Amino acid sequence: MALKIVKGSIDRMFDKNLQDLVRGIRNHKEDEAKYISTCIDEIKQELKQDNIAVKANAVCKLTYLQMLGYDVSWAAFNIVEVMSSSKFTYKRIGYLAASQCFHESTDVIMLTTNQIRKDLSSPNQYDTGVALTGLSCFVTPDLARDLANDIMTLMSHTKPYIRKKAVLIMYKVFLKYPESLRPAFPRLKEKLEDPDPGVQSAAVNVICELARRNPKNYLSLAPLFFKLMTSSTNNWVLIKIIKLFGALTPLEPRLGKKLIEPLTNLIHSTSAMSLLYECVNTVIAGHDVNGSPFLPPFSLALFLFLRFQLCVQKLRILIEDSDQNLKYLGLLAMSKILKTHPKSVQSHKDLILQCLDDKDESIRLRALDLLYGMVSKKNLMEIVKKLMLHVDKAEGTTYRDELLTKIIDICSQSNYQYITNFEWYISILVELTRLEGTRHGHLIASQMLDVAIRVKAIRVFAVAQMATLLDNAHLMTGNVQRKGICEVLYAAAWICGEFSEHLENPMQTLEAMLRPKVATLPGHIQAVYVQNAAKLFATLLKNQEGNTDRTAAQETSQLMIDRLPLFVQSANLEVQERASCILQLVKYIQKLQQKDVEVAEEVIALFAGELNPVAPKAQKKVPVPEGLDLDAWINEPPSESESEDEQPKAIFAKEEPKHSRARHTEVDEKELAKRREARKQEQANNPFYIKASPSSQKVYQEAPGVEHIPVVQIDLSVPLKVPGLPMSDQYVKLEEERRQKERVEKKKKEKKKRKEKRGGRGKKHDSGPESEEDITPAHMVDIVTEEMPEDKKSSKHKKKKQKREKEEKEKKKKKKHHHHHHHSDGGGEESVQNGTVEEEEPLPVSVCHQSFTEIDIQGNLQDGSQVVVSVIFENKCDNFLKTMEFNVLDSLNSKLQRPEGSGPHDGLSVPFQLPPETRSSGTLRLSVFVIVFPQNEDSSTHEKLDFKLHFTCSSYLITTPCYSDAFAKLLESGDLKCSSVRLEGVNMPFHHLLARICFHHHFSVVERIDSCASMYSRSIQGHHVCLLVKTSGQTVSIDAKCDEPTLLGNVLDEIKQTFSQC
Partner 1 sequence: MIKAILIFNNHGKPRLSKFYEHYSEDTEQQIIRETFHLVSKRDENVCNFLEGGMLIGGSDYRLIYRHYATLYFVFCVDSSESELGILDLIQVFVETLDKCFENVCELDLIFHVDKVHNILAEMVMGGMVLETNMNEIITQVDSQNKMEKSEQSP
Touching partner 1, residues 127-166 (CB under 8 A): 129-130, 132-133, 136-137, 139, 161, 164-165
- In whole angstroms, the minimum distance from the beta carbon of 411 to partner 1 comes to 22
**57 binds partner 1 per the rule CB under 8 A:** no
Nearest to partner 1 of 68, 628 (CB atom): 68
**Residue spans of beta strands (DSSP E) within 878-944:** 884-888, 894-896, 908-909, 919-928
Of 174, 177, 277, 529, the one binding partner 1 by CB under 8 A: 277
Nearest to partner 1 of 124, 1035 (CB atom): 124
Q: How many CA atoms lie within 13 A of 925 on its CB side?
A: 11
Q: Can you tell me the distance from the alpha carbon of 725 to that of 204, in angstroms, rounded to the nearest whole number?
A: 60
Of 1, 3, 10, 67, the one binding partner 1 by CB under 8 A: 67
Q: Can you tell me the distance from the alpha carbon of 775 to that of 432, in angstroms, rounded to the nearest whole number?
A: 26
DSSP string, 272-296: -HHHHHHHHHHHHHH--TTT-SSPP
Q: Can you tell me the distance from the alpha carbon of 576 to that of 581, in angstroms, rounded to the nearest whole number?
A: 8
Nearest to partner 1 of 169, 538 (CB atom): 169
# chain residues binding partner 1, by CB under 8 A: 73
**18 binds partner 1 per the rule CB under 8 A:** yes
Contacting partner 1 within 837-866 (CB under 8 A): none
- Per CB under 8 A, the segment of 61-69, 383-391, 422-430, 704-712 that binds partner 1 is 61-69
- In whole angstroms, the minimum distance from the beta carbon of 830 to partner 1 comes to 45
Q: Can you tell me the distance from the alpha carbon of 873 to that of 681, in angstroms, rounded to the nearest whole number?
A: 52
Q: What are the angstrom distances between the C-alpha of 431 and each of 375, 485, 487?
A: 21, 12, 15
For residue 173, give every residue at least 6 positions away whose Cβ sits within 8 Å of its Cβ, in sequence order, or none.
139, 144, 147, 148, 151, 180, 184
Q: What's the distance, Cα to Cα, between the start and end of the chain in Å?
A: 76
**398 binds partner 1 per the rule CB under 8 A:** yes
Of 172, 287, 341, 459, the one binding partner 1 by CB under 8 A: 172
Pairs from 676-682 (Cβ < 8 Å, separation ≥ 24) = 676/614, 676/618, 676/619, 677/614, 677/618, 680/622
Q: Can you tell me the distance from the alpha carbon of 319 to that of 332, in angstroms, rounded to the nearest whole number?
A: 10
**973 binds partner 1 per the rule CB under 8 A:** no
β-partners of residue 854 are 871
The answer to whether the Cα torsion of 282, 284, 285, 289 is positive or negative is: positive
- In whole angstroms, the minimum distance from the beta carbon of 150 to partner 1 comes to 16
For residue 106, give every residue at least 6 positions away whose Cβ sits within 8 Å of its Cβ, in sequence order, or none.
73, 76, 138
What one-character DSSP code corresponds to residue 914? B
Q: Shortest CA distance to 885 belongs to which of 867, 910, 851, 853? A: 910
- In whole angstroms, the minimum distance from the beta carbon of 87 to partner 1 comes to 5
Contacting partner 1 within 607-666 (CB under 8 A): 658-659
Nearest to partner 1 of 209, 885 (CB atom): 209
- In whole angstroms, the minimum distance from the beta carbon of 582 to partner 1 comes to 42
Nearest to partner 1 of 134, 859 (CB atom): 134
Of 30, 71, 636, 900, the one binding partner 1 by CB under 8 A: 71
DSSP string, 133-167: HHHHHH--HHHHHHHHHHHHHHTT-SSHHHHHHHH
Nearest to partner 1 of 356, 525 (CB atom): 356
Q: Can you tell me the distance from the alpha carbon of 959 to that of 182, in angstroms, rounded to the nearest whole number?
A: 14
Nearest to partner 1 of 88, 967 (CB atom): 88
Of 47, 255, 337, 363, the one binding partner 1 by CB under 8 A: 363
Of 43, 75, 98, 168, the one binding partner 1 by CB under 8 A: 168
Taking every pair of Cα atoms in the chain, the longest distance, rounded to a whole number of angstroms, is 114
Site map for partner 1, 197-226, x if CB under 8 A?
-x--xx--xx-xx--x--------------
For residue 862, give every residue at least 6 positions away whose Cβ sits within 8 Å of its Cβ, in sequence order, or none.
149, 152, 183
For residue 686, give every residue at least 6 positions away whose Cβ sits within 8 Å of its Cβ, in sequence order, or none.
none
- Grouping H, G, I as helix, E, B as strand and the rest as coil, residue 634 is coil
- Per CB under 8 A, the segment of 6-14, 18-26, 427-435, 439-447 that binds partner 1 is 18-26
Nearest to partner 1 of 70, 303 (CB atom): 70
**68 binds partner 1 per the rule CB under 8 A:** yes
- Per CB under 8 A, the segment of 234-242, 494-502, 685-693, 928-936 that binds partner 1 is 234-242
Of 236, 880, 929, 999, the one binding partner 1 by CB under 8 A: 236
- Per CB under 8 A, the segment of 355-363, 613-621, 896-904, 977-985 that binds partner 1 is 355-363
**274 binds partner 1 per the rule CB under 8 A:** yes
**66 binds partner 1 per the rule CB under 8 A:** yes
Of 7, 34, 48, 103, the one binding partner 1 by CB under 8 A: 103
Contacting partner 1 within 722-781 (CB under 8 A): none
Contacting partner 1 within 310-329 (CB under 8 A): 324-325, 327-329
Of 22, 110, 475, 966, the one binding partner 1 by CB under 8 A: 22
Amino acid at 691: K
- Per CB under 8 A, the segment of 96-104, 431-439, 570-578, 1051-1059 that binds partner 1 is 96-104
Residue 79 class from Cβ within 10 Å (0-12 exposed, 13-18 middle, 19+ buried)?
buried
**990 binds partner 1 per the rule CB under 8 A:** no
**92 binds partner 1 per the rule CB under 8 A:** yes
Q: What are the angstrom distances between the C-alpha of 136 and each of 129, 145, 257, 518, 764?
A: 11, 14, 38, 56, 54
Contact of 577 with 642, CB cutoff 8 Å: no
**360 binds partner 1 per the rule CB under 8 A:** yes
Q: What are the b/e assignments for 544-583, b being 16+ CB within 10 Å?
A: bbeeeeeeebeebbebbeebbebbbebebeebbebbbebb
**958 binds partner 1 per the rule CB under 8 A:** no
Contacting partner 1 within 524-543 (CB under 8 A): none
The answer to whether the Cα torsion of 556, 559, 561, 564 is positive or negative is: negative
Q: Can you tell me the distance from the alpha carbon of 599 to that of 589, in angstroms, rounded to the nearest whole number?
A: 7
- Per CB under 8 A, the segment of 66-74, 420-428, 703-711, 713-721 that binds partner 1 is 66-74
Element of type H or E holding 833 = strand 831-839
- In whole angstroms, the minimum distance from the beta carbon of 34 to partner 1 comes to 19
Nearest to partner 1 of 54, 363 (CB atom): 363
Chain-centre distance of CA 987, in angstroms? 40
Element of type H or E holding 979 = strand 977-983
Contacting partner 1 within 680-699 (CB under 8 A): none
- In whole angstroms, the minimum distance from the beta carbon of 483 to partner 1 comes to 18
**30 binds partner 1 per the rule CB under 8 A:** no
**89 binds partner 1 per the rule CB under 8 A:** yes
Nearest to partner 1 of 387, 503 (CB atom): 387
Of 278, 409, 487, 1054, the one binding partner 1 by CB under 8 A: 278
What one-character DSSP code corresponds to residue 653? P
Contacting partner 1 within 239-268 (CB under 8 A): 239-240, 243
Q: Can you tell me the distance from the alpha carbon of 348 to that of 356, in angstroms, rounded to the nearest whole number?
A: 13
Q: Can you tell me the distance from the alpha carbon of 23 to that of 10, in angstroms, rounded to the nearest whole number?
A: 22
Contacting partner 1 within 179-198 (CB under 8 A): 198
Nearest to partner 1 of 25, 672 (CB atom): 25
Nearest to partner 1 of 281, 433 (CB atom): 281
- In whole angstroms, the minimum distance from the beta carbon of 239 to partner 1 comes to 5
